[in-house]
Amino acid sequence: MKPVVIIGAGMAGLLAAAQLHLNQIPFLLVDAQNQVGGRLYSEHVKGFTLDVGFQVLQTNYPEVQRSLDLHSLDLAAFESGAYLWNNESWLAFVNPLKQPGSLFSALASGIMTVKDAYLLARLWFITQADVQPLGSQESTQDFLNRWGFSPKFQSHFLRPFFGGIFLSAGLNPPASLFRYYMKQFLEGTAAIPATGIGAIPLQMAASLPADSIRLGTQVTQVSANQVTLSDGATVDAEHVILATDASAAAKLLGVSLEKGAFWSTKTLYFQVPASADVKPMLHLVPNSRVLHYAYFSHVQPAYAPKGMDLISVTTLDVSMQSADVLTELAPFVGPSIQNWAFLKEYLLPEALPVVGAFDELKQKAADAGIVLSGDFTGFPSLQSAMQSGREAAESCLKA
């Protein structure tokens, strides 16, 4: 029997491979890079663990629950909440479901109105039901305005927090996706593995037969039953699952993507001498080119060497340099910003696919008899990438 060829060993391709392996179907998983994981990758620099772009593992995602051994990832979680900027200092706003007193501090500070508190409670109530991530045409920003969240609560909490999830400053993604993520944050935890976010795909790959994975091998041509590799060799396939990122899939299928099909971001890392009194939560920076910063090593201590802390800074302004970040954050951090020493930055021009930008690509793959997989086939998240991989394998099993 010819193998199913899976192109791309990101989380989508790995899930497809795991599902085929479970059903004893021969497969070949090919990736252009020398490692698995695609956008889920970590580097180790000067004793620090740096994820290539700020990201977290939502432990409540159904596919995460189903396919990962969370225990052996040795996860540590963000505290549910965030630091909000209150005139000249930071206010720790802990999830009111876990610490109701936090609500009163936020109300007293004026960052939140009584109506905002009521609307949050109403949101919490509607997220008790099943929330479909892609059910609405309305943008998140339009939804927040229609519901009547106050401008200050939007600028000090909702926009920097969800802007950092969507990587969209204008909160353009669908309101249904906002409600879906809200549910994940309220019901699950946002966690990081001890050895970096890249430990997740490594765990998946470890359960697959090593001789079925070929790394450092780019696919240059694809059809329903054959792929051509960069060295000119061809591999015949029972089925082909195209699980690359959207740009690579478009190139292989000869589709031109619209400008603006991706959200971009930059993550900058700084090291500072260890400090004891900062909670493992994001500092949300209002009305700024920086969305948020976090003492990452207070979430996952294994990310920094002893005596040091690791700070991550997330911006959507990809032109920002480390010096710009220090200038921008000086009023929020105070004189201790002098201790921030720049470590490394990661620019991710195609970090997340824009919902709805890939219809032509999907049609072209369907017409060519190629099974398409990847986060861009659904919505930008590990959940969607993993689900699409599993479903791609299932469709090969049925065919």
Q: How far is CA 66 from the centre of its chain?
A: 18
Rounded Cα distance, 309 and 354, in Å: 34
Complex with ligand FAD: residue 9 or 354, whichever CB lies closer: 9
Complex with ligand FAD: residue 94 or 372, whichever CB lies closer: 372
Distance set, CA 234 to CA 217, 239, 347 (Å): 12, 14, 34
Residue 257 tokens, joined: 């993507």
Min dist CB 35 to ligand FAD, Å, is 8
Q: Are the C-beta atoms of residues 177 and 140 closer than 8 Å to each other?
A: yes
Complex with ligand FAD: residue 365 or 382, whichever CB lies closer: 382
Min dist CB 248 to ligand FAD, Å, is 3
With CA atoms as reference, report the closest residue to 337 among 273, 292, 284.
273
Residue 165 tokens, joined: 């999830």
Dihedral Cα 61, 63, 66, 72, nearest 10 deg: -70
Distance set, CA 183 to CA 18, 123, 178, 294, 330 (Å): 28, 9, 9, 22, 34
Q: Is the dihedral of CA 215, 252, 203, 212 positive or negative?
A: negative
Min dist CB 362 to ligand FAD, Å, is 14
Complex with ligand FAD: residue 13 or 106, whichever CB lies closer: 13
Min dist CB 28 to ligand FAD, Å, is 11
Min dist CB 382 to ligand FAD, Å, is 4
Residue 40: phi and psi, rounded to 5, are -105, 95
Q: How far is CA 328 from the centre of its chain?
A: 25
Residue type, 398: K
Min dist CB 4 to ligand FAD, Å, is 15
Complex with ligand FAD: residue 119 or 219, whichever CB lies closer: 219
Rounded Cα distance, 27 and 15, in Å: 12
Residue 11 tokens, joined: 């989380």
N-term to C-term CA, the chain: 14
Min dist CB 308 to ligand FAD, Å, is 23
Complex with ligand FAD: residue 211 or 277, whichever CB lies closer: 211
Min dist CB 59 to ligand FAD, Å, is 11
Rounded Cα distance, 172 and 263, in Å: 11
Min dist CB 167 to ligand FAD, Å, is 7
Binding site for ligand FAD (CB under 6 A): 7-13, 30-33, 38-40, 53-56, 58, 218-219, 243-245, 248, 265, 348, 351-352, 374-375, 380-382, 385
Complex with ligand FAD: residue 39 or 283, whichever CB lies closer: 39
Rounded Cα distance, 44 and 361, in Å: 36
Q: Are the C-beta atoms of residues 354 and 260 closer than 8 Å to each other?
A: yes
Complex with ligand FAD: residue 79 or 375, whichever CB lies closer: 375
Complex with ligand FAD: residue 82 or 243, whichever CB lies closer: 243
